[in-house]
Amino acid sequence: MLSTVENTAVRACVAGGRHLRERFGGETDADFTRHDVKAAADRASEERMLSVIRDSHPDHAVYAEESGDVSTDGDLRWIVDPLDGTNNFVSGLPSFATAAAVLDDDGPVVGSVYVPVSDDLYVAHRGEGTRHDGEAVSAASDVPTEKATVGFVIGHDVKLDGRMAEANEMQAALGDATKRVVESWSPCVHWGALARGKLDGMVCFHPDDEEQHVGELLAEEAGAAVARPADGTYVAATSESVRDDLVTSIS
């Protein structure tokens, strides 16, 4: 059953991602606000992803970022992000992805991320590890904290409800502890890099579900050291020592 679900997640992400790759760099059709941007490409990618999912699993619950709850009944629930990194996409920056996570009562069980421009495909399956382009990967690395590059993720609500000052303090503290902090506008791309040991850590402050479920699965199945030091805060790193230093820096 879950192997079929995994196959569907991959096909959905690739279907949406290939459409994004075709549109990338072309004329932009988007609506901009102070804190967000919505592109026609989001909706077009989502339509393609949902078509794959509904055709294969009409009995599953599905939530998609643009459409909301498409269906609510089913033992398994899909969370679909048709364009993670919309701001990058419309700005001509190639860091964006499609993502799908499938949850059961215990959390994410299958996840897939596809990065169209670099043609990177990530798949994670609970208890079976994380794969990149079909090969098992590991998040392990011996890079020390002071030489680490860390991604920092905040959810959309943080920008709207007065918590940006706290987020800025957290980011500054991470900058003091590490070599570089990347403010992630495409978390799924960075989750994939962490799963391969290319990025040394991820720190999330009240992140959005559309990226977080699949990101946690990719990281944990790749063996990342993780912690939840406070409500709404998640830390993953390529070693326990880096994880502990990151937690200390933001506490």
Binding annotation for Mg(2+): 65, 81, 83-84
Report DSSP state, residue 34.
S
Rounded distance between C-alpha atoms, residue 51 and residue 46, angstroms: 8
95, 68, 101: which is closest to 83 by C-alpha? 95
Q: Which two tokens stand for residue 34?
A: 């102070």
Give Cα 217 distance to the centre of its chain: 10
Q: Which helix (H) or strand (E) holds 17?
A: helix 2-23
- The beta strand positions in the chain, using DSSP E, are 30-32, 37-39, 61-64, 68-71, 77-84, 97-104, 107-115, 120-125, 129-132, 135-136, 149-154, 180-183, 201-205, 225-230, 233-237
Q: Decide: residue 179, CB within 10 A, 0-12 exposed, 13-18 middle, 19+ buried.
A: middle
CA atoms 223, 232, 170, 100: torsion sign: positive
List the binding residues. 65, 81, 83-84
Q: Which two tokens stand for residue 222?
A: 């790749």
Position of tokens 């890079």? Answer: 143
